Each structure stands twice: as structure tokens, then as C-alpha cells.
Structure 1
Amino acid sequence: MSRIVRFHRIGGPEVLQFDDIDVSAPQAGEVQIRMRAIGLNRAEVMYRSGEYVHPPRFPATLGYEGSGVVEAVGSGVSGFAVGDAVSVVPAFSLLDYGMYGELVKAPAHAVVKNPAGLSFEQAAATWMMYGTAWGALIELGGLKQGEAVLIGAASSSVGLAAIEIANAVGAVPIALTRSDKKRDALLRAGAKHVIASGGPALTKQVLELTGGTGARIAFDPVGGPESAHQLGALAQHGTYFQYGTLDMRDLSVPAMDLLGRRLTVRGYQIFEITLDAARLERAKRFITEGLASGALKPAIDRTFPFDRIADAHRYMESGEQVGKIVVTV
């Protein structure tokens, strides 16, 4: 028997409950993992609240990523052995798998060995944030040395990962935040500039910082009417990636900016990367090499014990964190 966190109705953190279930042996193509740490993600809060891209199927499991030790492997699985320290990459549907548990199963394609010296907590804080940022900025966006990138909600785990990845390729990360109180933390995290204002002032500051050129990419999980001011700050042929919906209102897309500078506005999810075998391998290589070299250092804001996972969800909803929230098992 294993304790698994599930929910039987949508709602706030209070709907999360511990269920004792019998975790079956791994099937073909699966790996069974004894979890040591779980990384929390905004998508899981939205799924629990009934605001995700698909509704839950009850009783619903949760959790896109975590790290632990291989307990067993199914038939046809190679490259993993019992006792290996591994992490889980978000490369599956929450309708099929969930990582909030003491003992879980994951598809083998979504499992990766931990680099030497990486703690379970750091490993659990790795793949959603770096995979999401790498996919948009590098794989799809082609961000290059010297180009500016606007990073919305920059104090989030994905935002901090985007700052590191931009620096790794010699680009110029411009961090966007709602509050000036996070400015120093973002500068310490590697942001070249921090903008805490919105509206037309944001557009003006970006153009001043880039000598009138504008940013090549906007990487934003917020959206809503404020998106107009990021679009106004993009360079010719710039791209706006929306990868979240912290503001549920529709984007505001100024037609003359769109046409005059031939901008691209697109939705983006990490699954564009992790469900494509070739892209996933490139992501694994870039991120693993970055972790090994020290260019990428997972930022953990706070850890919670497994028994307080509902409190961890409440903390995520507060928006106070700078970095990843991790639950230890």
C-alpha cells in the first residue's frame, strides 16, 4: 500500500486528501519510483480548481514532476535499474499518471537519471521549469546572443529558469514583475534589467533599454489586457509566447503593432517539447549539461513535508514565492 494524494471534487487545497492504494507492478514501458521529493506546479493548482486545459477524472491524481529511486521496471524498459536516482519529466497526462505519492509509476520516456551531485529536492525542481523555458526560448524561439527577452512573472520557477537559459546563450533577460520588492532577488538571479511597472511605461522602458530595437521574444504566463504593452515592446518579427493564464481575460493584441512589425503571437505548452522524442532528447541534453556545468542551478523557495502538501498549494496560490516549491516525501 502507498499513500497517494488525490482529490474527489474540484475546489481549494482542502479537497486534497491522502488515499491508501495498492500500487501495481509497472507495466510494459513503465518505471516504478519510490518518491523522495515532488516539485509543485501552477498547472496542478489549476487542475485541482477545474481551470486547466482538461477537466479532472475522479478520483483524480496530481503531479507532473518529482525525484526518487527506481523500485522496479516494466518489460521493454532499458537504461534504468533498481536503485537508480531518477527524475520525472512532464511528458504525460494527469489523466494517466500522477507524481503526488510515496510510490508511483511513470512512463519510461518521461524518466531521466539524476546528474551526480544533484539532490532529490533540486532534481524535483528541474524539469518543468527548465523544459518549459528551453522549449520556447531556444527550440522554438531560437533566442541568440545579444537579443533581449521579456520574462513575465519572472520570480516564478519558470521565470527564473528562463533568466538562466537566456544568460547561458548570451541573451539579455528583462524580468517583469508586479512588485518592486522582488527587484533585488531577480537581479541576484541574473536578470539584466527588472521592470516593475505595467502599461505604456513598460513599453517605453523596454524600448529605452534596447536602444529602440525592442525585445525579440516575450515569454509570458500572464496574458490578459496587459499583453498589449509587451507586444508594443517587441522587435521586428518578434514572438510573444503565452504559456499560462494567470489573467483569464483575453489577450489584447494591437493590430498596428502586429501588422507593422510582423509579430507572431502563439500559445505554448511544454508538451510541444516533451511529447516529441527528438525535441525531448535535445532538451534533456541541454538541461543535463547545464546542471552538470553549474550554468543551471534550480532555485528552491521553500520545502514542505508530504503531510502538509495542502499548505504547499496554499503557499503557491499566495504568489509570494521566488523559485520552486518542493514537497519532501
Structure 2
Amino acid sequence: MKAVQFSRFGGPEVLELVDVPTPEPQAGEVLIRVQAAGINFFEVLMRADRYAVTPQLPMFPGVEVAGVVEAVGQGVDAALLGSRVAAPLFASQRPHGGYAEQVTISADLAVPLPDEVSFEAATALMVQGLTALHLLRQSPPDGRTILVPAAAGGVGSLLVQLARQKGASRVIAAASDRAKLDLALSLGADVAIDYANPDWPTHVRDATDGHGVDIIYDTVGGALTALSLKALAPGGELVFAALGRYGLAASDLEAMIGRNQSLRGFALLPLLPPEVLRMSLSELFQLAASGQLRVAIGGRFPLDQAGEAHRLLDERRSTGKVVLVP
């Protein structure tokens, strides 16, 4: 079968399509014919060796796929054959290798996918959908004014919608160009602010009558984190979910203490024991199936153009979810 790997760190050009043996499902596993594989920004960072963890080479990226069960291992109900499923590889014993034509995963982790939800949408609702859902569970937005940076991205576009459903009093979206701002507004943001403008935190404060926002859900990190503190209200909360892209200095933390603000870290995997993972994904799939949650797909690429898909994310030109369609 075909799969994508990189055997050295670098730009999108290091991604190459190679022939590898087709995996065989072991006892308790299913073999899935991949119909869509999600791409995440942390994979872009990993490819360039800019992530918090340096992977071993060669690396076969891809932590989430959706497809059709093609074979089952010993002890697995044959009734699963032909069923549509989502495979959250990131939660499995083999958490990579999704940029491929076929993958195996424990049958217990293969989550049924409603017919109303496309394979592409399912990939968006795994890492990114679960991140958005559990960010809001960790720091509920009910009755509060929130800021969503990168609001047209994979996590941000879902955060805007879910926060509105979960009772946020005001949703302020930040993005980097007019098309992205318009997308955020169409998804339910009350205000959309261009953070290509160096003075964007002032505009956020103006949109809150000078008070600032109660919660910032920061999945971007870097220089944006320190800037966003200028938009955070006294007693407000910065929820940080951008592993490896830290942007706060000691002086920023001291200033937060002086304003009674809190910094809350967020890591997804510890929040997802298998039963919670399945229930959370099922909840997201039902929201999408019923039309209550809109999934924006920002690009579809064949496996042999994985480098171009990475380039789209690397250059911050994407909106919503970017997927590979083997």
C-alpha cells in the first residue's frame, strides 16, 4: 500500500510517498480502508522539528482517519465489516501512520460514523473537535465573554460554534484576513477582529466596553499569547493549549498575578480514557449529523500531494480542516 513518510526534517518537500506492507489486523483489531486522513498543525511543526517532542525517523505522520472496515482480527465481530468508522489513532498503541491507504486500530477505538457525517468531517471532529469540546468542559464559557484566536482554523471554527451553544454571552473571534473573519462571523461569532493589526488587543477591549474578555482559549501560542493578555479582563483566565509554542515571559506571569488572572494548561490525551473518547466523539458526530455543528473543510489533497497540504497550513492560508483523500 501507499503511505507518506519523512526521513529527514525540513520543509513540506521532505514528505514522500512510499510503498509499505499492508498492515494485518491482529486479535481485537480492525483493518480500515482510509477514506480521509486529517492533517494537524502540530504535524507541520513535527516535520520541521519545531514541536515539543522530536519524533524518531523515519516518521509516518497522521493521527486520525475515517474510513470503512475492510477486515477484522481474531475475536472481532464480523458484522463490523463494511461499516463506516472514525479511527482516533492518537489514542491507540500505534498513534501515527494515518497518511496511508490502510490502517489498523483496536476495534474498541473504532467509533461508528453516522451516514450523515462525511469522512472528511469526521477527521475534523477528532483531534480538533475533541480539543474544542474539552477546552469548553475544562473552562465553561456560560455567561462569559470569550476570545477565540485563529477562529477560522480547525479548532477555532468549532470553538466558536460550541461556545455559542454552551452559553457564552459574547464570542469574539480573531483571525488574520477578511475571508477568515467572515467565516468566523458566519459560524456565530459576535465580533471578528483582524490580528494582523498590531493594535488588535485594543480593538478587543473596545468590543467589551473596555473590560476585556473573561476567557481566552489559546491554541496558537508564540508571540500571540503575550499580546492576548492585553485583552484579558482582571480576574480573567488564559487557557493555554499550544504545546511547544510558549510565548510568556516571567514578567507576563507577574503581571497576571497582579491582575488576579489565571493561567490554565490544557492537554487533551489525559482527558480521554477510552469510554470518554467514544462518548465525546459520538456527541460531536451527532451534533454534526443533526446540523447543529458545521464542519469547514479548507482543502482536500491526494496522498502524493501531502507536501502541498502541509504548505497550506505552514503558510497560514488554510481555513477549517485540511484533509488527505487516499
TM-score normalised according to structure 1 size: 0.87
Tell which has more relative contact order, 1 or 2 (C-alpha 8 A, sep 6+): 2
- Partner Cα distance (1:270, 1:90) in 2: 14
| Equivalent position of 2:207 in the other structure | 209
215-224 or 248-257, which moves further after superposition? 248-257
Which runs of 5 or more structure 2 residues have no equivalent in the other structure?
none
Q: Of residues 288, 291, 300 in structure 2, which corresponds to 1:291?
A: 288
Shift of 1:234: 2.8
Task: Report what 1:161 is aligned to.
Answer: 158
1:195 to 175, 193, 196: 193
Q: Which residue of 1 aligns with 2:37?
A: 38
Within the candidate set 277, 280, 300, 2:277 is matched to 280
Corresponding position: 1:302 with 2:299: yes
| Residue equivalent to 1:323 | 320
- Secondary structure, aligned partner of 2:80: coil
Shift of 1:158: 0.9
**Do the aligned partners of 1:222 and 1:245 also contact (CA within 8 Å) in 2?**
no
Amino acid at match of 2:152: S
Q: State the partner residue of 2:173.
A: 175
- The answer as to whether partners of 1:223 and 1:242 remain within 8 angstroms in 2 is yes
The percent of aligned pairs where both chains have the same amino acid is 34
- 1:185 Cα shift? 2.4
Compute the displacement of 1:125 (Å).
Answer: 2.5
Bigger mean CA deviation after superposition, 195-204 or 169-178: 195-204
1:142 pairs with 128, 140, 143, which one? 140
Change (3 A) 1:29 1:243: farther
Instruction: Give the alignment's Cα RMSD to 1 decimal.
Output: 2.7
CA distance in 2 between partners of 1:251 and 1:77 (Å): 52
User: Which consecutive residues of structure 1, in runs of 5 or more, have no partner in the other structure?
Assistant: none
The aligned counterpart of 1:234 is 232
Amino acid at match of 1:124: T
How many angstroms apart in 2 are the aligned matches of 1:75 and 1:237?
Answer: 55
CA distance in structure 2 between the aligned counterparts of 1:125 and 1:116, rounded to whole angstroms: 16
Kindly provide the amino acid, as one letter, of the partner of residue 39 in structure 2: L
Which amino acid in the other structure matches residue 45 of structure 1? V
Change (3 A) 1:15 1:304: same
**How does the TM-score come out when normalised to structure 2?**
0.88
Q: How many residues align?
A: 325
Structure 1 residues 209-257: Cα deviation after superposition (integer angstroms, max 9, x where no partner): 3345432321112323442342243345432122226966545763465
Q: Which residue of the partner structure matches residue 256 of structure 2?
A: 258
In structure 2, distance between residues paired with 1:125 and 1:291 = 11
Counterparts of residues 51-130 of structure 1 (less than 5 Å): 51-75=50-74, 77=76, 81-89=80-88, 91-92=90-91, 96-130=95-129
The 8 Å contact of residues 51 and 244 in structure 2, kept in 1 or not, is answered as: no
Q: Please give the alpha-carbon distance, in whole angstroms, between the structure 2 residues aligned to 1:96 and 1:283.
A: 19
Aligned mates of 1:253, 1:75 — CA distance in 2:
58
Q: CA deviation at 1:308?
A: 1.5
Question: Do the aligned residues in 1 keep the contact of 2:89 with 2:96 (CA within 8 Å)?
Answer: no
